Chains A and B, each alone.
Chain A
């Protein structure tokens, strides 16, 4: 009896581990920035180059930072979701235009709509490196004290907004500044 049950048990354990492994996404790298202060930057505004944009501008608010580029294909899929979010919620979204051209980026927003409260122009990608960006688009949720609380790598969809991002934003808005 035992000699049949032991291999069967081993097999079941193996299957369980492998099926968990199948569901894991190896591209999902946990960000070390969670619960750390948002990295500072001072970048020119995308539309008004003489104006400077900084995460410090949003102190005291719960806000989102969305990293995007006109060359990023999956940003196109994500964009309507951001537009919808900008229409229906009061959460400010800082658009970090990552390694892009000013003209193409502006044109892109004219064509597809501009969900961003303000857009920072990160031409050489230095701010992106400080934020640990490796797969555009990426979306961060930052709390009132300026700490990163959540990071979503890859395009966000309506489900991610409804199930994760908005509930978290509502939760964080209750926290004292």
Chain B
């Protein structure tokens, strides 16, 4: 029974993959370029998937577009420019570094540095407080408390 279920599950897998079109490349570099680009470009319809993962109709069309451009000998940059002109920087999973994306890129480092500064200030303040001096009665009380603890420990 278990085997039958497994078999059915795998049969389903096969048809799911059959939905993704097959592209023929003459050169291995072209295939690598294709796979690299569709992994880097975002699908506009299902926005948290790249073109490679998405089965949306637009993603299929854009894969076809990438394929045809590669066949025509386009470079990575040409294909990326083609997409950015139409859909904006949003299609790129790696956004370019420019005025509108400055905080995106350096924001985390600013927060990290701020965290370190706060930590340093905190540690310094602690250090300035110094060790607390106890007078004779306080020492006696401390000793008493420690002895009490030792007694309960030994029991």
Contacts and interface: CB of A to CB of B under 8 A. Distances in A.
A125 B59 CA distance: 12
A135 B45 contact: yes
A129 B90 contact: no
Central interface residue in A30, A31, A33, A132, by most chain B CB within 10 Å = A132
Nearest to B65: A129
Nearest to B90: A29
A26 B47 contact: yes
A27 B90 CA distance: 11
A125 B85 CA distance: 17
Contact of B86 (A27, A30, A33, A99): A33
A96 to B, nearest CB: 15
Contacts of B84: 32
Central interface residue in A99, A125, A133, A135, by most chain B CB within 10 Å = A125
Contacts, number: 37
Nearest to A135: B45
Interface string B85-122: 11111100000000000000000000000000000000
Interface in A97-151: 99, 124-125, 129-135
B94 to A, nearest CB: 17
Contacts of A133: 58
Contacts of B89: 32
A27 to B, nearest CB: 7
B104 to A, nearest CB: 15
B62 interface: yes
A135 B56 CA distance: 11
A99 B64 CA distance: 15
Contacts of A129: 61-62, 65, 86
Contacts of B87: 29, 32, 132, 134
Contact of A27 (B47, B57, B62): B47
Interface in A28-79: 29-33
B88 A134 contact: no
B44 interface: yes
Nearest to B88: A32
A134 B61 contact: no
A33 B62 CA distance: 18
Given A99-B57, A134-B44, A134-B58, A29 B65 contact: no
The 6 closest A-B pairs by CB, nearest first: A134-B44, A32-B88, A132-B86, A29-B90, A132-B87, A125-B61
